[in-house]
Structure 1
Amino acid sequence: MNPSPLERAIAAAGSAVALAKLAGVTPMAVSYWKVRGVPARHVVLIESATGVHRHDLRPDLYPEAAPTLSQIMTDTTPHGQSGKPSVNTSSTLRGHP
Structure 2
Amino acid sequence: MASAAKAAGSQTALAKALGCTPQNVQWMCSTGSVPAKHVLKIEAVTGVSRHELRPDLYPQVSPTLEQMMLRNAIPGQSVDPAVNSSSTEVA
Q: How does 1:1-97 map to 2 (within 5 A)?
A: 6-33=1-28, 34-35=30-31, 37-65=33-61, 71=67
How far the C-alpha of 1:32 sits from its partner, in A, is 1.3
What TM-score comes out, normalization by structure 1 length?
A: 0.62
How far the C-alpha of 1:54 sits from its partner, in A, is 0.3
Question: 2:55 is paired with a residue of what secondary structure?
Answer: coil
Structure 1, residues 5-57: CA drift from partner, whole Å, max 9, x if none?
Answer: x1111111000000000011000101111315110010001001101000000
Aligned length: 78
Unaligned ranges ≥5, structure 2: 71-78, 82-91
Q: 1:67 to 1:48 in 2, by over 3 A?
A: farther
Percentage of pairs with the same residue: 50
What TM-score comes out, normalization by structure 2 length?
A: 0.66
| Structure number with bigger Rg | 1
Q: 1:52 to 1:83 in 2, by over 3 A?
A: same
Match of 1:90 in 2: none
RMSD between aligned alpha carbons? 2.9
Unaligned ranges ≥5, structure 1: 1-5, 75-81, 85-97
